[in-house]
Amino acid sequence: MVTIESYAVAVAMCFITMLCWGSWANTQKLATKEWRFQLFYWDYAIGVLLLSLILAFTMGSFGSSGRSFLADVSQASGSAIWSALLGGIIFNLSNILLVAAIDIAGMAVAFPIGVGLALAIGVITNYAARPIGDPVLLFLGVAAVVVAIIVDALAYKRLPSEGQKTTAKGIVISVAAGVLMGFFYRFVVVSMATDFASPQAGMLTPYTAVVFFSLGLLLSNFLWNSIVMVKPFVGEPVPFADYFTKGNARLHLIGILGGVIWNVGMSFSIVASGAAGPSISYGLGQGATMVAALWGVFIWKEFKAAPKGTEKLLGLMFVFYAIGLALIIIARWA
């Protein structure tokens, strides 16, 4: 299988993770103009699994390093498989809750609470398990990214609300989403061998771990997504028949593309964690909030109606974001 030894290459892969995690939601924005998020999400989950299988039978099976995908599956322990599956189950619930929180409380509340908590918890838990990198620089970098997310929220708050309300329910859901999202990555890491080139018996290689993670995501969709279809936090229930009667090839492909984009990021993050360390790999990837902000500012023109002075907040946001990324990258070399 293909493994990464160079830290510089690992960092480049983490930047691709940021781009993918911050960009996949554009497909949701395109699709949900015509149908509900819950329907889009079925195709998204299918796309996540498809990409994981493609990588497993290509990058995960070629080369002389480590074990090939099928050989890895045949020797995997039940506990390793379950850990990766559990990571997918937890992530799926957190992702659905985050979207629900955005619908209820708006991005100004849901993103800084949800993603900010996820970034902080994820870096801390992954560093505690595998302390790679200078802790002072690493956590200063995390703090800078969290400040950038908060400034981003202040900028969003200046936009006309047009009936958007912050409710106690939205805040509670945001917290739940952030806590869950902060832990999912750790379960995937626990399932994997610590040495990708010479993996221990019973443990998974990164490509196999992502396949079981993706399988956990898709299977849990029958529970989590079904619940929010029948009992949505906002709006009317979504009939299951709508997936077949209201969908068309273009809408289904958009959803699948969204899942593929997100899982390119997840796969690269997991593969890069061998050289960069899980805490750095996860921390860089969760900077995706700022990538999403770039899409919002320059492509979707979300701040077109913002009052004068908002551009200063946006500039400050990107400065803190750049500082945070630099500190997280340097932490591995210190």
- Each residue of 246-274: pLDDT tens digit? 999 999 999 999 999 999 999 999 999 99
CA dist., res. 206 & res. 196, Å (int): 7
Q: How far is CA 274 from CA 16, 44, 60, 144, 271, in A?
A: 16, 27, 14, 24, 6
pTM over 0.85: yes
> For the chain, what's the residue count?
334
Segment among 36-50, 88-102, 112-126, 318-332 with least mean pLDDT: 112-126
Is the pLDDT confidence value at 105 over 70?
no
Is the pLDDT confidence value at 174 over 90?
no
Q: How confident is the model at residue 117 (pLDDT cuts 50, 70, 90)?
A: confident
pLDDT value for 84: 98
Is the pLDDT confidence value at 300 over 80?
no
Cβ neighbours, 10 Å, residue 175: 15
Q: What is the mean predicted confidence (pLDDT) over 191-215?
A: 97
Average pLDDT taken over every residue of the chain: 90
pLDDT value for 13: 97
Relative orientation angle of helices 168-190 and 107-129, to the nearest 10 degrees: 30
Q: How confident is the model at residue 164 (pLDDT cuts 50, 70, 90)?
A: very low
Q: What is the mean predicted confidence (pLDDT) over 64-76?
A: 95
Is the pLDDT confidence value at 277 over 90?
yes
| Pick from 6, 17, 3, 182: nearest CA to 97 | 182
Tokens of 330: 């340097």
Q: How confident is the model at residue 161 (pLDDT cuts 50, 70, 90)?
A: low
Between residues 184 and 233, the one the model is more confident about:
184
Percent of the chain whose predicted confidence (pLDDT) is above 90? 63
Q: What is the mean predicted confidence (pLDDT) over 186-196?
A: 96
CA dist., res. 135 & res. 292, Å (int): 27
The angle at the Cα of 101, spanning 100 to 106, to the nearest 5 degrees, equals 120
Tokens of 38: 């819950």
pLDDT value for 233: 86
pLDDT value for 276: 95
Is the pLDDT confidence value at 189 over 70?
yes
pLDDT value for 83: 98
| Residues 67, 75 contacting (CB under 8 angstroms) | yes
pLDDT value for 286: 84
